[in-house]
Amino acid sequence: MGAVWLVFGSEVRRRWRSWLILVVLIAVVAGLVLAAAAAGRRTATAFPRFVAAHGYDVYIYNNHPVPSLARLPEVASVVEIGVPGSAQPTCACTHTITLSDFYINELRPTALDRVVKLVAGRMPSQSSPDEVLASFNLQQDYGVHVGTVIRTPFYAASQRQALTSGANVTPSGPTVALHVVGIEAAELSFRPGRHRNTTCSQLRHLHAS
């Protein structure tokens, strides 16, 4: 037994540096594996956490507000979104924006933060109705970025009936220069057949939606 300990002690003296390096390598590899596992768990729960904070269960299209929705026992909350009628936008983008891929959401400032996550830039100022957020789809597909100006013609309130009936009419409302101050992500942008929308916090005083 004494001979065994003698040999072991001799080996320790000769190889302690190699063994120390081996122990350090094992610790580093174990740390990387644990970090990768933690990152994998965060990635797996990223979208569910996003939906819990900014998602919704139902998206309803209607020509008029439906205040009775909020009173239904099955409904926890309702966010009203206006979609003003707009025509072909123009901008200094990498590609011409396809009109079928573009629309404007109009929300109250408190509702805007509820349904979108800011990923770059800042939120629009309530005192500047021409400031908007653009979806990350617009950024990826058309090169829209913070600082982009999107000139958008709007239909007048008198053209509402013609629009809802599907008539082909030229917009007679104002053309507004919308200034992109931030990039956002919304649940709708991740769904199949997504729209590359611009989200605007205030536009009601510019024309009747």
pLDDT tens-digit series, residues 156-198 = 988 888 887 888 889 999 999 999 999 988 877 765 555 555 5
Determine the pLDDT at residue 75.
81
In a domain, 189, yes or no: yes
Determine the pLDDT at residue 33.
58
Query: Distance between CA atoms of 24 and 31, rounded to whole angstroms?
Result: 10
In a domain, 160, yes or no: yes
Q: Which two tokens stand for residue 97?
A: 């924006």
Helix, strand or coil for residue 113? helix
pLDDT at 91 over 80: yes
In a domain, 10, yes or no: no
For 24-56, the pLDDT digits (tens) are 666 665 555 555 555 555 655 666 776 666 667
Tell me how many domains the chain contains: 1
Q: What is the pTM of this model?
A: 0.69
Helix, strand or coil for residue 102? coil
In a domain, 128, yes or no: yes
Determine the pLDDT at residue 195.
52
In a domain, 194, yes or no: yes
Name the DSSP class of 163.
H
In a domain, 73, yes or no: no
In a domain, 122, yes or no: yes
Q: Which two tokens stand for residue 180?
A: 């992109």
In 125-174, at which residue ranges do the beta strands (DSSP E only) sit? 131-135, 149-153
CB 56 within 8 A of CB 79: yes
In a domain, 161, yes or no: yes
pLDDT at 17 over 80: no
Domain enclosing residue 119, as ranges? 80-200
